[in-house]
Chain A
């Protein structure tokens, strides 16, 4: 009797985990949509693929960079100088020039709206003594958010050895970031312009192509690198329901994100 007790307890425990885990029963409804994705309606996982697979996050990392910067004696009016290093950062860029000055608020807007790497570099260089310190702060912040399968190396999301995250972790990041009003506002801003201290105007538009095209969409961040493929954290709200889609290594990103989010809302209508 004693011998049969332990397996039974284990089995019951396993069953409890199975029945209580929100990730236990979700189907991979869209098997070619992405290497990994997570589609969540309210608290329910509607569909998923490899939700804990570690993959490069590309520019989705900039949401974490934004949180770190906003936690660092943030002053949106502070003038920041564009270094030669920042000005020569690979695309996507808004075209900042070495020696120019822009406000921290403008840099944050360019980083989140246009996913601008030059603006991202400006922020990182001005809000930490060096890249290593910023990287450490990013990983500490990620741990605070419960992102246990993530490690960040490049604050702007360039592919780098050892840099990885999961759609499960990035959903936590997306939710936290969207809870910050400034980030939520920038995420739905279709286009903006910044004015340098010398008076030059730089216009840029949002990289999130769902804005204005998908009903209820409220951001949040796009990403792309050769290794990461098409990445996206999308959030939409309709009739009191929230839908989140996190996609890493995606293909046909916009078409499928649009369809998947519509599907998730349609599923909620039948409940």
Chain B
């Protein structure tokens, strides 16, 4: 339906331009249009246009993608062809017959994507004068606006990509192509905070869902050429020195266990140093989650072992 209406509007625009372009002043006409396509008929539309005096002298370009050519006038019959290129190419041919000086009718056949659309026109002169160049100026203004908006959009996209890349946001994976942005992103993502965030996201990813952007860590590894486990381990080795204890607690089981023994065991919540309070709390809640995972995977006979594991976990802490 989208293509049908686009074609309809294109047809109207073509017919309007064919009649409207040229010298000013012009004369007012009402044009009724009906359309048939794929066995269905669209309700008629009526529009007023301003027809210039010598509208049939030269082929006329309607916009960047469409051109009217091979325009002929034989007696009361005027014909022309139209060709549009781009994403939706259109080929069309039209024939109009003037029934006196104040009325005409005609048809335009257009082919779009293998479908043929027939548009029927009936024109009636209303009298009075008008500015025949107004429509063309309006079309040009709209084209200029569209170009400006497109340029603004592209600038905003580029800015978004630069910002997202610097912050290591997975937005880059699906929206950005500039190699400089990719390079920046690949560097930014290999930090404790961003890499940890991607690891968290990967853990929570739905295994049944797979589309671009659904697994940012895996996709980042492919884009940037790193191995997830190698980078995770490398960041574990530098986490404590950089104060990235949240990363350590969540993504470095061996290092976290060792640090918990050293810094959390036997410490009370209120007297522990601020540096390790968050880490120890995170470690404690992770121990709880690990217990849950074991419980889920454990047959009933392992209940005692779980209880012991629970006691062991709590043994690290004083309330």
Contact = CB atoms under 8 A, between A and B. Distances in A.
Interface of A: 27-33, 209, 213, 230, 251-256, 258-260, 262-263, 266, 269-270
Given A30-B289, A31-B295, A32-B291, A259 B281 contact: yes
B299 to A, nearest CB: 16
Nearest to B267: A255
Contacts of A251: 314, 319
A259 B286 contact: yes
B238 interface: no
A266 B249 CA distance: 13
B289 A255 contact: no
A257 B286 CA distance: 12
Contacts of B277: 213, 258
B292 A256 contact: no
For the side of the interface on B, what is the size category? Answer: 20 to 34
Contacts of A254: 269-270, 281, 319
A262 B269 contact: no
B230 to A, nearest CB: 24
Contacts of B288: 29-33, 256, 259
A255 B270 contact: no
Interface string B268-308: 01100010011011111110110110010000000000000
A260 B285 contact: yes
Nearest to A210: B269
Contacts, number: 74
A7 to B, nearest CB: 29
Nearest to B269: A254
Given A32-B313, A252-B319, A259 B269 contact: no
Given A31-B310, A255-B317, 20 more contacts: A29-B289, A30-B289, A209-B269, A213-B274, A213-B277, A230-B319, A251-B314, A252-B317, A254-B269, A254-B270, A255-B269, A256-B281, A258-B269, A259-B282, A259-B284, A259-B288, A262-B281, A262-B285, A266-B200, A270-B197
B113 interface: no
B292 A213 contact: no
B200 A253 contact: no
Contacts of B280: 255
Given A29-B292, A32-B313, A262-B278, A252 B201 contact: no
A258 B295 contact: no
B200 A31 contact: no
B204 interface: yes
A262 to B, nearest CB: 6
A27 B269 contact: no
Contacts of B310: 31-32
The winner among B269, B278, B283, B286 for most chain A CB atoms within 10 A is B269
Nearest to A253: B319
A255 B281 CA distance: 5
